[in-house]
Amino acid sequence: MSATANSVWKNCLAFIQDNIQPQAFKTWFEPIKPIKLTDKALSIQVPSKFFYEWLEEHYVKLLKVSLTRELGTNAKLIYVIKMENKYGNKEPFTEQIPSSNRTAVGPQELDVPITSKSPELKNPFVIPGIRNIKIESQLNPNYNFDNFLEGDSNRLARSAGMAVANKPGGTSFNPLLVFGGVGLGKTHLAHAIGVEIKDKYPEKTVLYISAEKFTQQYIESVKKNTRNDFIHFYQLIDVLIIDDVQFLSGKSGTQDVFFHIFNHLHQNGKQVILTSDKAPVDMQDIEQRLLSRFKWGLSAELQSPDYETRVSILKNKLYRDGVEMPEEIVDHVAKNIKTNIRELEGAIISLIAQSSFNKREVTLELAQQVVEKFVKNTKREVSIDYIQKVVSDYFEMDVATLQSKTRKRHIVQARQLAMFFAKKFTKASLASIGSQIGKRDHATVLHACKTVDNLAETDKQFRKYIEDLNKKFS
Ligand code: ADP
Ligand code: MG
């Protein structure tokens, strides 16, 4: 009996159903219709482009496994998107997209000269090999330059990134450090540069890694006594991208090892790309010699997008999802969510989802509800810098005074209050609070917090300070 689209899909569904939550199965798999089977390619119809992206993002592995079980290793999946255009009266139309729109960046093979004594070079990404190791770039092809929209807020960083991608290691932007607040596109841009380099120079070994994962690997290598292999591995990379380097703050062992890797790469004309949530001058607990390296190249800031850029990001997102939405709704979202592109996208995704599941038209009222929820839920964490600024303003002094070594009582009190609020409103450790507020140690911060607690009980004027300041932070 030969397989048909229906029979293959039925078996896939049975397998998928066993592996996910019933609700997810109902939402994402029941609406799918198998359309045809040719050779080893199964076409399935999905209700929207958003649907397709969701499947690709969340269930691609599961789909692949289930399909491979049915059709063997060459199995292919093709999505047929049936779009109903709710806002115009155009006919529904279809579009076909193969699974994984952009091909993933394949593994990179590298011949490794055996110079170290151990015959085996350990790849911390756990693909064992001896002479020839495969290095997965860890790049996400969905973060590329095509969908990284340009605006005043990111022009410098974006074009520096482009320049680096055109000539990795060959510009003065080495390292290229991209910095900016949460959700402003650092990770996206970092991947885009890597993806572009792989397009232009497939022979180059590119590696993207978060500073956090880098740190874990390093710690692991120390435990297993393979620190040299770890260093050696990273020294083989042509383009090293490390995301969120502020994470290295206070981790002197990892900073040290990174310093050596950095120097080696830089001397050999290899490109280093870094991202951080702060400008180098504001980075705390990073060794001076490393900071000075960061400043060798270019530091480019990603700022909050202006209104026009927010609108174009939203419109582009809708366009890529094949969804239309009235102008006034886009406008409402863009006007109200200002400082974070991730939230901007989150709000629009939530609107698309609501409209496509509840078959509800997106009205301005629905948009208002969604936006309100977003703005409410994302009360942002205040930063220690911000706290120091607010406290200094309140006591009419500047931040340098607040941080100074003076023992004048009103300044000491201001400093203690800043420490107290930093403890209360941020997740920072006592040590990190101390080092950011005038380079004190953790015991000083602890003492400050106790003093504030005591004074709050005994001193009426002081209690008023706390109440006033509390209002400014909540
Ligand atoms: P960060 O790493 O700075 O916290 P991300 O790179 O994760 O921020 O970006 C958050 C979201 O905003 C991602 O979904 C990203 O694709 C999107 N985004 C950021 N900048 C842009 C841009 N210029 N154009 C389109 N999308 C963007
Ligand atoms: Mg990021």
Residue 10: pLDDT band by 50, 70, 90 thresholds?
very high
Residue 340 CA to ligand 1 centre (angstroms): 8
Cα-based distances in Å from 197 to 49, 155, 157, 267:
28, 19, 16, 20
Which pLDDT belongs to residue 127?
Answer: 41
Which pLDDT belongs to residue 118?
Answer: 38
Q: Could you say which DSSP state residue 123 is in?
A: P
Which pLDDT belongs to residue 16?
Answer: 92
DSSP string computed for 190-202: HHHHHHHHHHH-T
The mean per-residue pLDDT over the stretch 49-63 comes to 80
Per-residue pLDDT reduced to its tens digit, 123-148: 455 444 344 567 889 999 999 999 99
β-strands 76-83, 93-98: how paired?
Answer: antiparallel
Positive or negative torsion for Cα 406, 410, 413, 415: negative
Question: In this structure, are residues 304 and 152 in contact, taking their beta carbons and an 8 Å threshold?
Answer: no
Nearest Cα to Cα of residue 328 among 371, 276, 390: 371
Q: Is 325 exposed, middle or buried (0-12, 13-18, 19+ CB in 10 A)?
A: buried
Provide the terminal-to-terminal Cα distance of the chain, rounded to the nearest Å.
68
Per-residue pLDDT reduced to its tens digit, 245-254: 999 999 999 9
Question: In this structure, are residues 338 and 212 in contact, taking their beta carbons and an 8 Å threshold?
Answer: no
Residue 114: pLDDT band by 50, 70, 90 thresholds?
very low
Q: Is 158 helix (H, G, I), strand (E, B) or coil?
A: helix
> And the tokens for 124?
């911390």
Helices (H) and strands (E) in the chain, counts: 20, 11
Q: Ligand 1 — pocket residues by CB below 6 A?
A: 147-149, 154, 180, 182-188, 313, 341-342, 345
250 appears as a binding residue in the annotation? no
187 appears as a binding residue in the annotation? yes
The closest residue, in CA terms, to atom 1 on ligand 1 is 183
Which pLDDT belongs to residue 31?
Answer: 85
The closest residue, in CA terms, to atom 14 on ligand 1 is 342
Residue 62: partners with Cβ closer than 8 Å, 6 or more residues away: 16, 19, 20
Q: Is 393 helix (H, G, I), strand (E, B) or coil?
A: helix
Residue 381 CA to ligand 2 centre (angstroms): 16
